[in-house]
Structure 1
Amino acid sequence: MAPNRRQMLALSNALAGSLLAGCTGTSPAPQTQRETTETTTDVRSDDATAEDAPDSPDSPAERVAAGNTAFAFDLLNRLSEASPNENLFYSPYSVSVALAMTYAGAGGETRREMRETLHFPQEGVHQGFRRLRDHFAQYEASETTGAPEVSETPETTDRNESGGAEETTAEYREPQPFRLAGANALWGQEGFPFAEALLGTLERNYGAGLRELDFESNPERARRAINEWVADRTRGKITDLLSPSAITAMTRLVLTNAVYFRANWETEFLEENTEEATFTALSGTQRTVPMMSQSETFRYAAVSGHQLVALPYAGADVSMVVLLPEAGAFEEFQRSLSAERLRELLGAMESRQGTVRLPRFEYRSKFDLSKALAAMGMPSAFGPEADLSGMAKGDAGESLSIDEAVHQSYVGVDEQGTEAAAATAVVVAEAATTVESEPFEMTVDRPFLFLIRDEETGSVLFVGRVTDAGAAQSES
């Protein structure tokens, strides 16, 4: 029997997550979880709005989701400038959650820059993310909310010999609502005087408890502990988020988020319909790729030569929106994307019978977001002028700044559905010192973009672009 909406909405509080579990065989560093005291106001007064106000079209969650969509396209264009011909994939939601936790301790010019760059509302940022977290928690079936305990020995029951997630093919092939899981966590230098107001805000709104590590004496062991936790929360898809140089003896706090997503299509592509076809990359090169095919009723639109289609996952609460720009107009179309432009395109969609041909693909992305975020409008957070004084008691926060902001992601799309994972870490360091119409056809044989989007809130969970499907094929 198909689960009802309430049951399906028991599958995703873990989306806003932390990040650690790794590829090393050594035990993680000993760590303690410090109890925090919940407070009734946020760290900064401009976020201290009523937390229990009824939802409305302009609720904190709606404002946060709209801002996240705007940030998603700003970041897409910035990352594309650095890698103009490459496939990209990332989770703007994961990045925003990790930076929202950082924002809770920011002040002055740093706070203003972060708010404008990330498109945060003037008020209710943390309440908005908490409500999104509560909404996504409904999609998570078995995991608990909050920040789970981290054991001395990483769990291995769901891992194969190579350290990756065990493939549950039989389960994956069964039509079921999507699975969305994750967690948030703080990793702090033991003994550092973190502000209780900060810890209370992050635990209450993000489920992020503080775990203490000894960055000063053994930064490598602390790094491995965080990476191991991330890998565990992403089912082995993200194993090396923090590089050896990311954590130093001057690290004081790491704020982490991890996301894992897996879902069947509502109507799966039949493998016997998959055929080899030519895909023309953005560079003009042509390669043969496996092209899936399906004829069905979809939400579809053709606007000014551009095509878009929504491919729903089982349960229809989340869909993949594939945007296929007109031939030769990919870069121009991508630059035109904004939250408003997306609303216009989605508003033009209607139920149509048609055929969709989509390449099977799988690839990974990894980014150091520090330069991108600074260039987008928040440079002070990464320099000596950073104001993260709300993170610590007394003068301890005066010399804190963001040392690194890193993001890593994985996506795999095949006939059965989609598997995706992403993790973000913000490293804070102390300075040394059905409408009747003609059937359509949409053959995705050139560069395209795609979004994984929650239908109810409009939250864009993942964004990707495939400029070369030939380079995005599984090696197996």
Structure 2
Amino acid sequence: MTAKSFRLAVAAIVVFSLLASSALAGEQQAAVRQLAKNNNLFALDLYAKLKKQQGNLFFSPYSVSNVLAMTYSGARGGTAEEMARTLHFTSGAEKTGSAFSGLNAKLNKIHEKGDIKLIVANSLWPQKDHRFLPEYLSAVNKNYHSAVVPVDYRKASENAHGRINAWVQDKTQGKIRDLIPNPLPRDTNLVLVNAVYFKGNWAKPFEKMRTLKGNFTRQDGSKSHASMMHRSGNFGYHETKDVKILELPYVGDQLSMVLMLPNDAAGFSRLESKLTASNLESWISGIGNRFVDVELPKFKFYWGTHDLTEPLQFLGMRKPFEGQADFSGMDGKGPFKIGNLLHKAFVEVNEEGTEAAAATAAVTVYGARPRIMTFKADRPFLFLIRENSTGSILFLGRVLDPSSSQT
């Protein structure tokens, strides 16, 4: 082979390698986008069940999906099939895990950029003398970057409970405390935990001097007092005959809050019933840049700790919570079930921006001047916080009364 032909061959190999690498990157990005879409389907399914509860509502469907995805990695047979259907996992445990790895990496890069704080953390807390399969622990570590911390639920349950809660408190900057109840069941053999923390300033903050006391009309027509923030400017906006949609970006423009406001307080129930994936996609796709006069209440509340077992069973995920659940992919035997799926969340919205946190634990046991638009959120409304490039919903909730600080 001549020197020239050798160089051509090397060049061809390099080009082929670059093309192959590009193709793999494209496949990974497509898988991440599909996972975000599927997670959003689950988010709206879960909201439809949780909305029957009273009062304000706020949770992190992304946190719930992370924990159940780690559990799904060890599920087999009918247990895995039910989890996949309920969670909208369409590509099997291995590819689902790889897509979660890519999506979590994208969120971590947003945090590293420094415009906002966005922390997603996972951990496994196995019974110290229970042997889990190395391939299961390796897959969870690889795809979910999960710390593995052995504890003793048999002889030191209080210590295990305290260490898990301390980990959650640390990862959520002190906002989520006492997620895990004390004592844990003595037959606990694994607790899987996810924590999500977000703090971002508005790209266009509200001025404190323009915050005034005002009235907020509840669904039944009664009034409550609220501190109403005011801001005028160009925002993402769309309206239909039933709803007004407002997008408020955070610094860096990689995350935003999307608010959905009915035309009157009595129409909130109708709006909730229309919160489907197709409607949400239609509402968001219709958003355009408009000059909007915004009036938004300050609010702050906790939601939880709630056991999500019953809502998930209603959605069709029954086997994982039953005695015959098959989690043999975790330890080769799998003679245990999910005893509880615990979730707790916090949100605060003020003039500067938003702080939100959530944690989930699966406890397994054996030209022309534009028309000025108005968005006056003085009545119940829906809101979500999403990552813009994938549309992934990180937090989802409603405000029925901003003056309530329910726990």
Deviation string 1:348-367 (CA, Å, 9 cap, x unpaired) is 11100011100000000011
**Residue in structure 2 matched with residue 91 of structure 1 by the alignment:** 60
Deviation string 1:74-120 (CA, Å, 9 cap, x unpaired) is 11110111x1x410110010000000000000111111111111111
1:121 aligns with 2:90: yes
**Residue in structure 2 matched with residue 391 of structure 1 by the alignment:** 330
More divergent stretch after superposition (335-344 vs 406-415): 335-344
Alpha-carbon deviation of 1:59? Answer: 1.8
Could you tell me the TM-score, scaled by structure 2's length?
A: 0.90
1:376 aligns with 2:347: no
2:340 corresponds, among 404, 427, 433, to: 404
Task: Write the letter of the residue equivalent to 1:466.
Answer: V
Query: Would the aligned equivalents of 1:350 and 1:435 in 2 still touch at CA under 8 Å?
Result: no
**Residue in structure 2 matched with residue 354 of structure 1 by the alignment:** 292
1:457 aligns with 2:396: no
1:248 corresponds, among 182, 185, 190, to: 185
Query: Would the aligned equivalents of 1:362 and 1:473 in 2 still touch at CA under 8 Å?
Result: no
Q: Which SS does the other structure have where 2:149 is aligned?
A: strand
In 1, the alpha carbon distance for the partners of 2:368 and 2:345 equals: 37
Task: Write the letter of the residue equivalent to 1:99.
Answer: L
More divergent stretch after superposition (69-78 vs 93-102): 69-78
Gaps of 5+ in 1: 1-49, 143-175
**Residue in structure 1 matched with residue 276 of structure 2 by the alignment:** 338
In 2, the alpha carbon distance for the partners of 1:374 and 1:216 equals: 28
Could you tell me the TM-score, scaled by structure 1's length?
A: 0.77
1:232 corresponds, among 170, 182, 188, to: 170
Q: Which SS does the other structure have where 2:66 is aligned?
A: helix
Alpha-carbon deviation of 1:57? Answer: 9.2
**Residue in structure 1 matched with residue 263 of structure 2 by the alignment:** 326
Task: Write the letter of the residue equivalent to 1:384.
Answer: G
Query: Would the aligned equivalents of 1:183 and 1:208 in 2 still touch at CA under 8 Å?
Result: yes
Alpha-carbon deviation of 1:56? Answer: 4.8
In 1, the alpha carbon distance for the partners of 2:312 and 2:220 equals: 27
Q: Which SS does the other structure have where 1:242 is aligned?
A: coil
In 2, the alpha carbon distance for the partners of 1:121 and 1:303 equals: 33
In 1, the alpha carbon distance for the partners of 2:252 and 2:84 equals: 34
Gaps of 5+ in 2: 1-20
Alpha-carbon deviation of 1:137? Answer: 1.3
**Residue in structure 2 matched with residue 297 of structure 1 by the alignment:** 234
**Residue in structure 2 matched with residue 72 of structure 1 by the alignment:** 43
CA RMSD across the alignment: 2.0
Query: Would the aligned equivalents of 1:199 and 1:209 in 2 still touch at CA under 8 Å?
Result: no
**Residue in structure 1 matched with residue 73 of structure 2 by the alignment:** 104
**Residue in structure 2 matched with residue 315 of structure 1 by the alignment:** 252
Q: Which SS does the other structure have where 1:197 is aligned?
A: helix
In 2, the alpha carbon distance for the partners of 1:347 and 1:324 equals: 16
Deviation string 1:386-414 (CA, Å, 9 cap, x unpaired) is 11111103x3x2x2100110000100000
Query: Would the aligned equivalents of 1:218 and 1:249 in 2 still touch at CA under 8 Å?
Result: no
Deviation string 1:400-454 (CA, Å, 9 cap, x unpaired) is 1001100001000000000010000001110xxx996311011001100101011
Q: Which SS does the other structure have where 2:356 is aligned?
A: strand
In 1, the alpha carbon distance for the partners of 2:390 and 2:173 equals: 26
Q: Which SS does the other structure have where 1:420 is aligned?
A: strand
Alpha-carbon deviation of 1:140? Answer: 2.4
Q: Which SS does the other structure have where 2:273 is aligned?
A: helix
In 2, the alpha carbon distance for the partners of 1:97 and 1:53 equals: 24
Alpha-carbon deviation of 1:375? Answer: 1.1
Task: Write the letter of the residue equivalent to 1:422.
Answer: A
**Residue in structure 1 matched with residue 143 of structure 2 by the alignment:** 205
Task: Write the letter of the residue equivalent to 1:68.
Answer: N
Task: Write the letter of the residue equivalent to 2:100.
Answer: F
**Structure ID, larger Rg:** 2
1:181 corresponds, among 98, 110, 119, to: 119
In 2, the alpha carbon distance for the partners of 1:57 and 1:457 equals: 13
Deviation string 1:317-342 (CA, Å, 9 cap, x unpaired) is 11100110221221121122122211
Alpha-carbon deviation of 1:54? Answer: 2.2
2:403 corresponds, among 470, 473, 476, to: 470
2:365 corresponds, among 429, 434, 444, to: 429
Alpha-carbon deviation of 1:472? Answer: 4.1
**Residue in structure 2 matched with residue 445 of structure 1 by the alignment:** 378
Task: Write the letter of the residue equivalent to 1:448.
Answer: F
Alpha-carbon deviation of 1:53? Answer: 2.3
Sort the Cα spacing of 1:262 and 1:58 in 2 relative to 1 into closer, same or farther, 3 A.
closer
Sort the Cα spacing of 1:365 and 1:216 in 2 relative to 1 into closer, same or farther, 3 A.
same
In 1, the alpha carbon distance for the partners of 2:302 and 2:219 equals: 18
**Residue in structure 2 matched with residue 172 of structure 1 by the alignment:** none
Q: Which SS does the other structure have where 1:297 is aligned?
A: strand
In 1, the alpha carbon distance for the partners of 2:212 and 2:28 equals: 45
Task: Write the letter of the residue equivalent to 1:446.
Answer: R
> Any runs of at least 4 consecutive aligned residues in structure 1 with deviations exceeding 6 A, and if so which?
none
